[in-house]
Structure 1
């Protein structure tokens, strides 16, 4: 199993999906590509099925809140990482989605392992994955309101309770607060 030269890896990915992506670059030896949501399933299928890529190993899918990065367009991002053991090739696929009504096609038909990770991104960021077999919550109660990993999510207030015990003798003699 020979590792691909990063420049060769970039050329191969561009040859396979160049017409369906908006940008391809190298980052720390990995190929990073940007893809529009409507092209995601086709791009992921090509990464898996094109013989000179063979990215058969789905590593992860995650939501990213980029709303404070106005210079990069802000919004939310779906980040998918796949790997080819045959070519020792890592590919990160970045998909920008709207902050107001975030939606992206599901890739569970390409990589079955994405099912729970899409559910988590839906639950924590509010990203809807069109075609997903069941976007029920993994961690939060079904009646939970909001998406806790969004930067706009307001954490509930906490009440500060006074310490019920007496001061330590050293603290009391030193005039410490309490």
Structure 2
């Protein structure tokens, strides 16, 4: 995926392992046992990344589907999931998709982008500043990945994103 994006990354892929290599302790966020930001700053960084969508002509955008993900709390079961996220990424690093809650029958569009230096990907509802979901761009290439969900009140939750298989009849014509 990183080779498909316009421009290059100045470092090897970064995998964000939430709770292990990236974790919260007190009022600080640590990456590889070093403080990278306060919890408030880290959430604000995610919101800034999500809001930094470049202005592009819609007809000129090429999209790479990233898949449909079931969202579960850290120890949740994919079979019980009611939250789903379909994502795609553009060559410019724009992330777009749809969030769906099957328990409440609600859905909305999401949009965000990536930060090339930190390789963080962040997105949120197209018409709101919060909540913001984030993970590493490399994480999005995996079938299972951790993610953080930041809320306006300053709280952050850890979630799991599990890529769902395409239905076997997805390629069949009617």
Question: Between Structure 1 and Structure 2, which shows a larger proportion of strand residues?
Answer: 2
For Structure 1 versus Structure 2, the TM-score category normalised by the shorter chain is under 0.3
TM-score normalised over the length of structure 2: 0.24
Larger relative helix fraction: 1
Computing the radius of gyration from Cα coordinates, the structure with the larger value is: 1
Higher relative contact order (CA 8 A, sep 6+): 2
